Structure 1
Amino acid sequence: FDPLEADYEALAAQLEDGWEAATPSDTGGAEIEIPVRYGGADGPDLSSLAKHVGLSVDEVVKRHTEAEYVVFFLGFQPGFAYMGGLDPALHTP
């Protein structure tokens, strides 16, 4: 869009309407299951993470594997996905 010609409020309203109207079936997305290994050489910081969030290692793994993650968009690095859906209890700085 031409920022000198476009009506910002109208564009913002159109984007919000489109976002609200979108459903998972509109995205053409697919559910993909990715195998994950936890702990040891594959996750040497797992114990530190569990301690930081105040959960057991087993509970961290349980919460991480039970979540359904949504890819919002792919980043600037090839294959880097910006995702949402992580259990807030696992959020870390």
Structure 2
Amino acid sequence: MTGALSLGAVDRFLLTVYFGAIIAIGVTTRRAVHTTGDFFLAGRSMPAWITGLAFISANLGALEITGGAADGAQCGAAAVHFYWLGAIPAMVLPAS
């Protein structure tokens, strides 16, 4: 198979360090997070509008922007239904 990607020792090391750091952060913050309010609002130390902006900005990454443009170019206005029927309710319902 020509051009197949394989992981080298450095790649495996970096993945292990990355996942180890993520797990360590999760275990450390688990002690401080007891409710969903603690999780979403950082123990009420941040206002809700900041966490709302962070939630919306996480849904507007490069993949979504370029994918949405490609969908619009390929399918036309029918691609908009994905956002009206899927993405917007998925953001509004957890907020209520």
TM-score, normalised relative to structure 2: 0.28
Richer in strand (by share):
1
Higher relative contact order (CA 8 A, sep 6+): 1
TM-score, normalised relative to structure 1: 0.28
Richer in helix (by share):
2
